[in-house]
Structure 1
Amino acid sequence: MSWKLTAADLSDLARGATLLGTGGGGDPYIGKMLVEQVLGTGSITILDPDDLADDLFVIPTAQMGAPTVMIEKIPAGFEATLALRTLEDHLGRKADATMPIECGGINSMIPLLVAAETGLPVVDGDGMGRAFPELSMETFAVYGVHGSPLALAGERGERVIIDTGDDDRQMEWLARGITIRLGGVGHIAEYAMSGADVKRTAVPRTISMALALGRAIRLAREAHSSPFEAIAETLSTTLYSHVRELFVGKVADVERRTTDGFAKGRAVILPLDPSSDDRFEIAFQNENLIAHHNGDVVAIVPDLICVVDHETAEPITTEGLRYGQRVRVLGISTPAMMRTQAALQAFGPTAFGLTEPFMPVEGETAAAEAALEFAATARGVGVAEEAHA
C-alpha cells in the first residue's frame, strides 16, 4: 500500500538511514536539507514493492563517491535528476518511478530529491539493504538485473553514459574513475528495471524501516527510555530481526585515508574501565566491514556493524568518528536474500579482500533457519539452490 512522506519525516528517516549505513553511505544531513528545500509543504508518494505493476518502469538514482569528500563538496542539487533524464533520453523511455540503490546514508535521500523535483513516486526498497562502497554490490545484480547503461552527471552539467553490458564490476570501475575526476562525487541513474524485477531482486520496505528506526530512537529518548531497546523492538518484526551489542567503550584511535575514491581505515575502541585490557577494532571501506574483539571476529560484512552514541543511540559515521567518543557497537543481521552464496560472492567478505569467512551475527543455527525459509519462498530462478546456511 502506498503512503505519503513529508518534510516532517525527513529527520527521522535520516537518523534511521545513518544507522543502516553502517558507518558509510555518506551523511544524509545534506541530502535532507536539499529535499526539504525542494519539497516544502508537499509530499512524496512511496510505493510498496508488492503493489507494483509488473510493467512499471523504475530507474534508481543515487550519489557515489567517498563520504569524506561529500562533507566539503556540497551538491548543486540538480545532478541526480539530470542523470535520470540523461538515462531516459538514452533508453528512449520515461521512468514511472525511482528508488534507492542503497537505503543507508545519503542515498536514502537522493531519490526523494529526484521525486520532489519531478513528481515521480519512490519505491520502498533498495538493492543493498544497507550501504556498500561499490555499485556492483547490489541484490539487483545478484538476481539478474544489471546496472548498465548507467548515466552519470556532475555539478557543472557534465553527462556521461557508461554501458558495459552485464559486467557490473567494469561499470563500477569506469564510473569510479569518472567520479574521481569530477572531484570525488558524482550522481547516477542505473539498474533500470521493471516492477516485476523490483519484486524479485530488491530488499523490500527499507525506506519505511529506516523511518521507523529513526522515529523509534527519537521517541525513546523523548520518553527517557532505552533507545537501544527501541531499536531491537523495531527490527524484531522485519527481515533484520536480530540485534546484538558487540562492545561498549571509548574511541581510542581512528586511522582514515581517502584512496581510489573510497574512505578506508580502522577504528580502535577500548573499554570504559581503564583497568580492562579488552580491545575492539573495526576496519572500514566507506562502511564498517569487520569487527574484532580481542582478535576474534564478532561481526563481518554483509551483516551490519553500527557505531552509535553510548547514551542516545545517535548513529556515528566513519567520517564522524573522533577520539574520546563514548560509543556502543551494534551487530544487526541482514536478510536471508543477502546471505546466499551468490550474494556473498558479490558483497561478502571475499569481495573486500577479507580472508575471514562469513559468520552470521546471530549464530549459525538461526541464520540457517532464515536461509531455508528464504529458499522455500524465493521467486528468483536458481535462488533456492544457492541458499546459504
Structure 2
Amino acid sequence: MSWTLTAADLPDLARGATLLGTGGGGDPYIGQMLVTQVLGDRSITVLDPDEIADDLFVIPTAQMGAPTVMIEKIPAGTEPLAALRTLEAHLGRTAEATMPIECGGINSMIPLIVAAESGLPVIDADGMGRAFPELSMETFAVYGVNGSPLALAGERGEHVIIDTGADNRQMESFARAITIRLGGVAHIAEYAMTGADVRRTAVPRTLSMARNIGGAIREAREQHRSPFAAIAETLAKTLYSEVRELHLGKVIDVERRTTQGFARGRALIESLDGAGPPLEIAFQNENLTACRGNELLAIVPDLICVVDHETAEPITTEGLRYGQRVRVLGISTPELMRSPGALETFGPSAFGLDRAFVPVEHLGGIVISRA
C-alpha cells in the first residue's frame, strides 16, 4: 500500500535504514538533516511497487563515495536533483518517480531530497536490499536493467554522463574514478527503468520496512522491552525473516583505511567475559564477513549488523570505536538476492573472498526470541 512520509517519519526511517545498511550506505544523520531542511512541513508520496503503472518512468538517485569521507565532506544538497535533471536532459525524457538504489544510511534519504525538491513520488523499493559498495552490485543489474547511462553531479556544479552500455562494472569503475577526483563524494542518477522493470528487479518495500524497524526499536526502548526481540518480530513479517545474534562483546581493535574510493578494514570484538577468540568483521564500506576464529558466522550478501549492546542503535563502519559494547546480528536476505546470478554479482566471490555463501540461518548464531 502506498503511504505518505513526513518529517516525523525520518528518525525511525534513518535508524532502520542504518540497520539494513549493514554498516554502510553513508551517515544517516546527515541525510536526515538534509531531508528535514528541504521538506519542512510538507509530505512525500511513497508508492507501493505493486500499485505503479507498467510504463511509469523511474530514475533512481543516490550518493556514492567512501563513508569516511562523507562525515567530513557534507553535501551542498543540490547535487542529487542536479544529477536527475542531467540524466533527464540526456535521455530526453522526464522522470515520473525516483527511488533508492540501496536501503542503507544516507542512500535511503537521497531520493527523499529529490522528491522534496521536485515533487516526485518515491517508490518503496530499492536495488540492493541492503547496502553494497559498488554500483554494479544491484538486483537491477542481476535481472536485466543496465545502469548506463549514468549522470554524476558534484558539489560545485560539475556534470558528467557515463555510458558503458551493458557493462555495469565498467560504469562503476569510471564513476568511482570521477568521484575520487571530486574529493571522494558525488551524487548520481542511474538505472532508469519502467514500473514493470521495478516490479521485476527491485527488492520491494524496503523504505517502509526501514521505517517499521526503526519505530519498533524506539518503541521497545520507550516501553523498556528488548529492542532485539522487536527487531526479530518486525522482520519475521518480511522477506528478511531470519535474525541471529552472532556475538556480544567489546570492540578491541579497528583497522580502517580509505583507499580506491572505499573504506576498507576490519574490527575485532572480544567477548565480554573474555572467553574464546574474538569475532572479526571484515568490511568494504559494508560488513562482509563475521568469523570467530575459523568459524564463519555470516557472510555477504546476508546482513551483518553491529548495534549497541543495550539500545540496539545501529553502528556504521565509520562509527566503530575502541571500547564500544556491541551486539552483532546476522539477518537473512530475500531469495532474489541468493540466486546464482545474484551471488555472482554481489556474493563472496565478487569481493575476492575464498569462502562460499552459506545462509546465516544455517550457521552458528543464536535465534533471537520474538516474544
* TM-score under structure 1 length normalisation: 0.93
Runs of 4+ in 1 over 2 A off after TM superposition: none
Q: 1:282 aligned to 2:281?
A: yes
Partner of 1:231: 231
* Partner Cα separation in structure 2 for residue 259 and residue 333 of structure 1: 29
1:74-119 CA-to-partner distances (Å, cap 9, x unmatched) read 0000000000000000000000000000011110000000000000
Match of 1:292 in 2: 291
Separation in 1 of the partners of 2:324 and 2:258?
22
Using the TM superposition, name which of 291-300 and 349-358 deviates more. 291-300
Deviations 1:295-327 (A, max 9, x none): 211100000000000000000000000000000
Query: 1:304: which partner in 2?
Result: 303
The structural deviation recorded for 1:30 is 0.6
Identical counterparts, % of pairs: 79
Paired letter, 2:272:
L
Counterpart residue number, 2:170:
170
Instruction: Name the residue aligned to 1:129.
Output: 129
CA offset digits 1:317-375 (Å, max 9, x no partner): 000000000000000000000000000000000000000000100128xxxxxxxxxxx
Distance in 1 separating the partners of 2:65 and 2:239: 28
- Residue of structure 1 in register with 2:65 after alignment: 65
Where 1:9 maps in the other structure, the secondary structure is helix
CA distance in 2 between counterparts of 1:75 and 1:33 reads 11
Equivalent position SS for 1:156: coil
**Alpha-carbon separation, structure 1, partners of 2:3 and 2:131:** 24
* CA displacement at 1:250 relative to structure 2: 0.3
Deviation at 1:28, TM superposition (A): 1.2
Structure 1: 5+ residue runs without aligned partners?
365-389
For the residues of structure 2 that align with 1:293 and 1:215, how far apart are their CA atoms?
A: 31
2: CA distance, partners of 1:332 / 1:249: 18
Distance 1:205 1:133 in 2: 21
1:84 correspondence with 2:84: yes
Aligned residue for 2:160, secondary structure, equals strand
For 2:352 and 2:177, the matched residues in 1 are separated by: 20
In structure 2, give the amino acid aligned to 1:118: S
The alpha-carbon deviation at position 219 of structure 1 amounts to 0.3
Q: Partner of 1:249 in structure 2? A: 249
| Equivalent-residue separation in structure 1 for 2:188 and 2:222 (angstroms) | 38
Work out the CA distance in 1 between the residues paired with 2:127 and 2:234: 21
Alignment partner, residue 313 of structure 2: 314
Partner of 1:189: 189
Q: Map 1:346-385 to 2 at 5 A.
A: 346-363=345-362
Deviation sequence 1:174-227 (CA, Å, 0-9, x none): 000000000000000000000000000000000000000000000000000000
RMSD of equivalent CA atoms: 0.7
Letter in 2 for 1:234: T
Provide, for residues 121-174 of structure 1, a one-character-per-residue CA deviation record: whole Å limited to 9, x for no partner: 000000000000000000000000010000000000000000000000000000
Distance 1:286 1:170 in 2: 20
Q: Could you say which residue in structure 2 is the equivalent of 1:335?
A: 334
AA partner of residue 16 (structure 2): G
The residue that corresponds to 1:35 in the other structure is 35
1:293 deviates by 1.2
Distance 2:104 2:12 in 1: 13
SS at match of 1:343: helix
Distance across 2 between alignment mates of 1:90 and 1:24: 30
State the SS of the aligned residue for 1:146.
coil
Which residue is 2:217 aligned to?
217
- TM-score by length of structure 2 reads 0.97
- Shift of residue 277, structure 1, vs aligned partner: 3.0
Distance 1:255 1:70 in 2: 18
